[in-house]
Amino acid sequence: MGLAVGIVGLPNVGKSTTFNALTKASNAQAANYPFCTIEPNKAVVEVPDARLDELAKIVEPKRIMHSQVEFVDIAGLVKGASRGEGLGNKFLANIRECEVLLHIVRCFDDSNITHVEGHTDPVRDAEIIETELILADMEQLNKKIEKLAREAKSGANKEAKASLECANALLEHLNAGKKASSFDGGDVFESLNKELRLLSAKEMIYGANVDEDGLSSDNEYVKAITAHAAENNAQVIKLCAKIEEDLVGMSDEEASELLAGMGADESGLELIIKAAFAKLGLISYFTAGVQEVRSWTIKRGWLAPKAASVIHNDFEKGFIKAEVISYEDFVACKGEAGAKEAGKLRIEGKEYEVKDGDVMHFRFNV
């Protein structure tokens, strides 16, 4: 299961620098002027999970395969983007393809780094982006309403009337400056959003880009964006793009020592991925054999056959049963054989809800 995290924000707030640091791939040009990024930069990175290393110590596989996340560095947005200013609709189309938005806001002062709005104000910056997303959604929704009105009048689409009522209510909600993510429209809204992929409905994580001093304690800018995020039921992750770049190429021990010295326990990458997983309700289960130890990403609540489908569709179609060992039991019993002997291996059927950290082996017949 893929997960795309779009890195968005005003021009020149550190999006490309963050992208380079998080992906350990310096292929996104970073420079001190607006619209440095024109085409979106993309990179697929591994999801860090220490549990894989522990499983590998026991199984000694030929390879370790992590889950993956795609990061997309999208060109900076400016006021009027919904009307075509800056990179306009091209920018907005790139956002539409992402499941989660990592909204980078600048939370430090530096006279040597140009700010497109003249001075640092993370809440103002966040509101500029959010307003443009709402305006773009309104434009798209108006077009949909015109189509639904015709369908409701002709009677050709029996569901058009309910969809039209929902769309009009949503338009009123957006017109009040509220994001689609706070609209309660039930199943009808979910259906509309699945088609339209509304920008302001997407899950958002705020990335507070601080200087080195800002990692150890929250400055006024971090406190302000944290309050704003709370109003939007969103999370703030504090990171220092410069420090993240310094982590590239370091050993685990060196990285841990540097982070500890800055008052941080985990890298920005680890925090962002965990937040994105939580926002989307994602979990991981494992397969562990001599060929490979591998992490598979699924939605929380998936039953065993559906979870098996991420390995191969045939696993779901011909599902018979699943052999399941919890991660904790697998490690405590030093592998599958020990877990079997201790009675920790369970046989689960089609109604089993897969848990985060399950070590699984599927039986199927096609």
Q: pLDDT value at position 90?
A: 59
Q: pLDDT value at position 39?
A: 59
Examine the domain organization and report whether 321 and 268 are in the same domain. Answer: no
Examine the domain organization and report whether 193 and 334 are in the same domain. Answer: no
Residue 107 has pLDDT above 50, yes or no: yes
> Average pLDDT, stretch 133-148?
92
**Which of residues 169 and 155 earns the better pLDDT score?**
169
Q: Which residues touch 253 (CB under 8 Å, ≥6 apart)? A: none
Q: pLDDT value at position 335?
A: 96
Examine the domain organization and report whether 323 and 235 are in the same domain. Answer: no
The pLDDT confidence band at residue 67, using thresholds 50, 70 and 90, is: confident
Residue 292 has pLDDT above 90, yes or no: yes
Strands 100-106 and 235-239 turn out to be unpaired
Examine the domain organization and report whether 68 and 193 are in the same domain. Answer: yes
Task: Assess if residue 337 is contained within a domain.
Answer: yes
Examine the domain organization and report whether 37 and 75 are in the same domain. Answer: yes
Task: Tell me: is residue 233 an annotated ligand-binding position.
Answer: no
Torsion of CA 87, 106, 248, 29, to 10 degrees: 30
By mean pLDDT, which of 32-36, 136-140, 186-190, 272-276 is the weakest? 32-36
Task: Tell me: is residue 15 an annotated ligand-binding position.
Answer: yes
Task: Tell me: is residue 114 an annotated ligand-binding position.
Answer: no
Percent of the chain with pLDDT strictly greater than 70: 90
Examine the domain organization and report whether 335 and 199 are in the same domain. Answer: no
> Average pLDDT, stretch 229-244?
90
The pLDDT confidence band at residue 83, using thresholds 50, 70 and 90, is: low
Q: pLDDT tens, 15-62?
A: 888 888 877 744 434 444 344 444 567 888 888 899 999 999 999 999
Residue 102 has pLDDT above 90, yes or no: yes
Q: pLDDT value at position 94?
A: 77
CB 45 within 8 A of CB 69: yes
**pTM score:** 0.82
Residue 217 has pLDDT above 90, yes or no: no
Task: Tell me: is residue 23 an annotated ligand-binding position.
Answer: no
Q: pLDDT value at position 174?
A: 96
Task: Assess if residue 188 is contained within a domain.
Answer: yes
Q: Distance from CA of residue 167 to its chain's centroid?
A: 26
Task: Assess if residue 288 is contained within a domain.
Answer: no
Task: Assess if residue 283 is contained within a domain.
Answer: no
Q: How far apart are the first and last CA of the chain?
A: 23
- Full domain range(s) for residue 349: 301-364
Q: pLDDT value at position 76?
A: 61
* Collapsed DSSP state (helix, strand, coil) of residue 184: coil
Examine the domain organization and report whether 63 and 183 are in the same domain. Answer: yes
Q: pLDDT tens, 296-329?
A: 999 999 999 999 999 999 999 999 999 999 999 9
The pLDDT confidence band at residue 265, using thresholds 50, 70 and 90, is: confident
Which CATH number do you get for residue 314? Answer: 3.10.20.30
Task: Tell me: is residue 331 an annotated ligand-binding position.
Answer: no
**What are the beta bridge partners of residue 285?**
296
Task: Assess if residue 294 is contained within a domain.
Answer: no
Residue 143 has pLDDT above 80, yes or no: yes
For the chain, the domain total comes to 2
CA distance 143 to 337: 60
Task: Tell me: is residue 42 an annotated ligand-binding position.
Answer: no
Q: pLDDT tens, 185-208?
A: 999 999 999 999 999 999 999 999
Task: Assess if residue 125 is contained within a domain.
Answer: yes
Q: pLDDT value at position 81?
A: 46
Task: Assess if residue 292 is contained within a domain.
Answer: no
Residue 63 has pLDDT above 60, yes or no: yes
Examine the domain organization and report whether 74 and 139 are in the same domain. Answer: yes
> Average pLDDT, stretch 155-182?
91
Examine the domain organization and report whether 218 and 317 are in the same domain. Answer: no
Task: Assess if residue 289 is contained within a domain.
Answer: no
Which CATH number do you get for residue 205? Answer: 3.40.50.300
Q: pLDDT value at position 33?
A: 39
Which H/E stretch holds residue 43? Answer: strand 41-46
Q: What distances in angstroms separate CA 234 from CA 9, 101, 200, 216, one per listed residue?
A: 16, 11, 13, 22
Examine the domain organization and report whether 207 and 110 are in the same domain. Answer: yes
Torsion of CA 312, 286, 239, 265, to 10 degrees: 180
142 class by beta-carbon count within 10 Å (0-12 exposed, 13-18 middle, 19+ buried) = exposed
> Average pLDDT, stretch 138-150?
93
Examine the domain organization and report whether 132 and 58 are in the same domain. Answer: yes
CB 32 within 8 A of CB 114: yes
CB hemisphere CA count around 348 (13 angstroms): 24
CA distance 361 to 105: 44
Examine the domain organization and report whether 147 and 83 are in the same domain. Answer: yes
What average pLDDT does the chain have?
Answer: 86
